[in-house]
Amino acid sequence: MKTQRTQKKRTVRWLSTLVLFGVVLLIGFPSGAWAIGTEATTSIDNRAVINYTVGTVPQTLIESSPGGNSTPGATNGADTTFVVDNMVDLSVQTLDAAPVSTNVFPGSTESVIRFQVNNEGNYLQDFLLTAIEQSDGSYTLPFAAPDDTLTDNFNSNSFVRIYVDADGPSATAGYTPSTWDGAGVESQVNYIDELERDESITVYIVIDIPIAQVNGDIAVYGLSAQVAQGGGAGSPGAAINSDDSGTADDAATVQIVFRDGIGIDDPDQVNPDGYHSSRSAFRVETAALEVTKNSTLISDPTGSGTPHHIPGAVVEYEITVDNTGASDANDLVISDQVQANTTFVFNSVSVSNNDGVVPVVEYSTDGGGSWSTTQPADPALVTNIRATNSHVRDADGSATLVFQVEID
Amino acid sequence: MNIKNTMITFVLLLAMQTAALAQGHIRLQSVAEVEKKVMNEEGKIELKRLPATKVVPGTEVIFSQHYENISGESAENAVITNPIPEHMVYQPASAHGMDTKITFSVDNGKSYNIPAKLFVFDAAGRKFPARPKDYTHIRWTFEHPLPSGAKGTVSFRAILE
């Protein structure tokens, strides 16, 4: 028994050593990731040296040169040199995890979606930004199901604005996305100025939502970034439209090599093209209200078990408002009028709200011109009745107004 | 022989002597190349070496030292030393050289050894086996003399950070 236990312990210890070794390997040798690339324009210089003897006499060392050197001496060689070229690599990703519905309702202004642009190349660059307004239709989005495919059905009713975060860029590793601080704080420009290699910055697309939109409406927008020449602060550099793969090699000049991935809305969907793009969406979130009005014949003067609509009969109206939307409906007023040839029945009003709200009941005697919470002593004067609910909750909210009239 | 002629002869002699001094026994040529896949005449993909020009982070560069004994004498105890250029990371097992013993330095050329015997120390003074990233120099020590006319190449590969 004892031997067995020892064996087990040993195995466990051996396993943990193995795991530890694996972790060390992982930390120590991050293979394939060249996150911090040598900066473009850096000169890589190489010079070797040979020492030897002839007979027993040590000879003066000879340095190498690109074309071959045989002159002895420590400074008679020359470096074999090339410059590091400009590897253009960028990525754009949305910072939204789902369609944005915060401050996205009919008539909302400054509705915002967020993106992060990363300079993954090896040189300081500018980035030219374009907001892509998708037309109606179905689009793939970088969100979890069921939001991975959304149907766009509206566009902004204002100019689509692009803002670059005023907090400026910071290192991509450990980058903390910024938040929208409002128009006037962030910079409304269509380019990112002077983004260093391995730096990231937050970019916002800002639109206004048309008042006619309803709950669940979707607007898909994309952000496209194209690499441009950096180096001139304060204005956008020239777009880099092609790399130097077709031009002659030159060890002495900095040439451009596209290494970017294929973004969802990139012009070239096969090859690196100096562009990258991502998508996000606005989802309108508002109350979705349904109003139902029922009437029930309560009694008639004959006292019959099956009453009829005859003068003196009492009819009860029940008006129900259901909210199946994604937002509460605030300050909701259910209002009705006492029809001609009917008379309001004193003390017949009852109200309800399934979220604990106590609706405020008011009466009007002048066709809705003025209102009072006090019921008129003469019910025949009542022309309108209303119930104000501070809110009707989202998803399954319901409020009712019930009152009775007598047929004249 | 007048003074003028003497002067000229002297200057000529001096020049010749300088030229003789300037010529060593070995010519050393350093070349940096990259390998590219190209289609050959038979339609097959083959690796072709081209001068290192379009080099971006992640590119592997082949550094070669072509040596030739251009003298009439034999060069003995020949040693080629190549500091690994800054920003370049040596690729394990990529150093080659016929009839040479290849050693590496991790202390900026002060000492050399084979990879298994190279160690580095962290800030706390703990000893770790050196990684190729730690190599600063490569040294090829020729096992035999290089006779007159002998030529060859030693090389290594490194990746641009």
Look up the ipTM and state it. 0.84
Answer whether A379's CB lies under 8 Å from A395's CB: no
User: What radius of gyration do chain B's Cα atoms show?
Assistant: 22
The predicted structure's pLDDT at residue A231? 87
Contacts of A219 by beta carbon, 8 Å cutoff, 6+ apart: A134, A152, A153, A154, A155, A156, A207, A209, A281, A282
Q: What angle do CA A71, A74, A78 make, to 5 degrees?
A: 70
Mind giving me the DSSP string for A293-306? EEEEEEE-TT--SS
> How far is the C-alpha of A296 from the C-alpha of A347, rounded, in Å?
17
Question: If you count residue pairs, one on A and one on B, with CB atoms under 8 Å apart, how many are there?
Answer: 163
The predicted structure's pLDDT at residue A1? 40
Residues of chain A where predicted confidence (pLDDT) is lower than 50: 1-34
> How far is the C-alpha of A393 from the C-alpha of A390, rounded, in Å?
10
Whether B26 sits inside 8 A of A250 (CB atoms) is: no
Q: How far is CA B25 from CA A94, A245, B79, B152, in A?
A: 64, 41, 13, 14
Contacts of A316 by beta carbon, 8 Å cutoff, 6+ apart: A295, A296, A298, A348, A402, A403, A404
> How far is the C-alpha of A142 from the C-alpha of A147, rounded, in Å?
8
Answer whether B55's CB lies under 8 Å from A38's CB: no
**Is residue A190 packed enough to be buried (19+ CB in 10 Å), middle (13-18) or exposed (0-12)?**
middle
User: Which residue of A lies nearest to B87 if distances are taken between CA atoms?
Assistant: A38
Please check the confidence at residue B69 and state whether its pLDDT lies above 90: yes
> How far is the C-alpha of A361 from the C-alpha of A376, rounded, in Å?
13
Please check the confidence at residue B88 and state whether its pLDDT lies above 80: yes
Please check the confidence at residue B89 and state whether its pLDDT lies above 80: yes
> How far is the C-alpha of A281 from the C-alpha of A147, rounded, in Å?
10
The predicted structure's pLDDT at residue A305? 85
Q: From the list B24, B30, B50, which residue is nearest A59 (CB)? A: B24
CB neighbours of residue B46 within 10 Å: 12
In three-state secondary structure terms, A316 is: strand
Q: From the list B22, B28, B74, which residue is nearest A64 (CB)? A: B28
Pairwise pLDDT comparison (A7 vs B133), residue with the higher score: B133
* Residue B44 pLDDT class (50, 70, 90 cuts): confident
Which candidate, A117, A120, A193, A107, places its Cα nearest to that of A154? A107
Query: Does the reported pTM lie above 0.95?
Result: no
Pairwise pLDDT comparison (A230 vs B8), residue with the higher score: A230
Q: From the list A37, A48, A257, which residue is nearest B82 (CB)? A: A48
What φ, ψ does residue B20 adopt, rounded to 5°?
Answer: -65, -40
State the maximum Cα–Cα separation within chain A, in Å, rounded to a whole number: 142
**Which of B23, B34, B35, B55 to substitute to test the interface with A, most A CBs within 10 Å?**
B55
The predicted structure's pLDDT at residue A36? 60
What φ, ψ does residue A43 adopt, rounded to 5°?
Answer: -90, 130
CB neighbours of residue A31 within 10 Å: 7
Which residues in chain A touch residue B87, judged by CB atoms under 8 angstroms apart? 38, 42, 44, 84
Say if residue A301 is preceded by a cis peptide, omega within 30 of 0: no
pLDDT tens for residues A305-364? 889 999 999 999 999 999 998 889 999 999 999 999 999 999 999 999 999 999 999 999
Whether B55 sits inside 8 A of A122 (CB atoms) is: no
Please check the confidence at residue B30 and state whether its pLDDT lies above 60: yes
